[in-house]
């Protein structure tokens, strides 16, 4: 079996794309159109596309007269109930000129842990894809509790990619690629490629960031990329503004090689910088 490369995303049979709350809510709500246009191009050349979209709570906040993300579960659930409806409407409105129909799929962590629910979710998404519907997946925030939440939609996207046997997962972020430490710090080096099995524990990706509209951060994307790559899915982390180039297989972002033999012991290899050179040995995890 040929291992998927970043350039191979363009010809991939099935791709999962994940977008975060900050990229599609508030003043960035207009970016839904840009993301949809990129997805429709891939859809038009025959790629089966699944979108994992955060943003239900953030989208619902203005309708509840909230100027900050609520901290209590009940208000989060209320905001999600309102926001999910508006969010799907915005996606479908953007998709309508292209003749593509969206299909909403809401999941909880328990759904992917329960064999029956997991099988049902896989069957539903397979059928949607077979009908050329664009599944839009989100965590079911209205019924999820703190104890059974995914924690962030990067992890949800990785598990969905594994569930449906995707070839590639594109995690859209606020920055073009991952760095060896927070990009604003001195000595931060862009990471172009992570070979499967590379040890990254020496890098400073930062802890989970909680902002006014969502959760996430570089650390969650690295963790999700590792989960997906281990199951044989190639992963690209890049900016939401570059979604079109990402789906075209351009040389952007940080690429995580998929496990060439899912289930087998991992191999190791050098991590490359954006210039294509190995990182200094003292920056590698020990």
The domain spans of the chain are: 6-283
Please give the pLDDT value at position 85: 95
User: 2.40.10.10, 1.10.8.60, 3.40.1160.10, 3.40.50.300: which CATH number matches 6-283?
Assistant: 3.40.1160.10
DSSP reduced 3-state for 122: helix
User: Is residue 25 marked as binding?
Assistant: no
User: Is residue 173 marked as binding?
Assistant: yes
Q: Would you give the distance in Å from CA 61 to the centre of its chain?
A: 22
Based on C-alpha coordinates, what's the Rg of the chain?
A: 18
Please give the pLDDT value at position 109: 82
286 residues of the chain, pLDDT tens digit each: 578 999 999 999 999 999 999 899 889 999 999 999 999 999 999 999 999 999 999 999 999 999 999 988 899 999 999 999 999 999 999 999 999 999 999 998 888 889 999 999 999 999 999 999 999 999 988 887 654 456 678 999 999 999 999 999 999 988 899 998 888 888 889 999 999 988 777 677 654 443 444 445 788 899 999 999 999 999 999 999 999 999 999 999 999 999 998 865 444 444 444 445 554 443 333 2
**Cβ-Cβ contacts under 8 Å for 106 (sequence gap 6 or more):** 84, 137, 138, 139, 140, 142
Residue with tokens 């927070």: 182
Measure the CA–CA gap between 270 and 286, rounded to whole angstroms: 13
Measure the CA–CA gap between 1 and 228, rounded to whole angstroms: 17
User: Is residue 28 marked as binding?
Assistant: no
User: Is residue 259 marked as binding?
Assistant: no
User: Is residue 167 marked as binding?
Assistant: no
Please give the pLDDT value at position 267: 46
User: Is residue 141 marked as binding?
Assistant: yes
């Amino acid at each position: 079996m040929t291992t998927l490369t970043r350039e191979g995303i363009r010809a991939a049979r099935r791709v999962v794309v994940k977008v975060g709350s900050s990229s599609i809510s508030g003043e960035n709500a207009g970016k839904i159109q840009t993301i949809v246009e990129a997805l429709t191009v891939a859809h038009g050349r025959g790629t089966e596309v699944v979108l994992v979209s955060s943003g239900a709570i953030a989208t619902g906040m203005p309708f509840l007269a909230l100027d900050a993300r609520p901290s209590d579960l009940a208000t989060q659930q209320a905001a999600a109930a309102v926001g999910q409806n508006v969010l799907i409407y915005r996606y479908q409105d953007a998709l309508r000129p292209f003749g593509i129909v969206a299909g909403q799929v809401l999941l909880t962590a328990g759904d992917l842990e329960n064999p029956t629910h997991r099988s049902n979710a896989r069957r539903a998404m397979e059928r949607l894809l077979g009908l050329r519907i664009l599944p839009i997946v989100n965590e079911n925030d209205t019924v999820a509790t703190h104890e059974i939440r995914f924690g962030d939609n990067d992890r949800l996207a990785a598990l969905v990619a594994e569930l449906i046997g995707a070839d590639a997962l594109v995690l859209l972020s606020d920055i073009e690629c991952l760095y060896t430490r927070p990009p604003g710090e001195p000595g931060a080096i862009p990471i172009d490629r992570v070979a499967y099995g590379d040890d990254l524990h020496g890098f400073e990706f930062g802890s989970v960031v909680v902002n006014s509209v969502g959760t996430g951060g570089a650390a969650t994307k690295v963790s999700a990329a590792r989960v997906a790559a281990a199951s044989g899915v190639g992963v690209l982390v890049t900016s939401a503004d570059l979604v079109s180039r990402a789906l075209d297989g351009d040389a952007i972002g940080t690429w995580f090689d998929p496990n060439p033999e899912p289930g087998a012991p991992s191999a190791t290899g050098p991590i490359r910088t954006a210039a294509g050179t190995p990182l200094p040995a003292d920056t590698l995890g020990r």
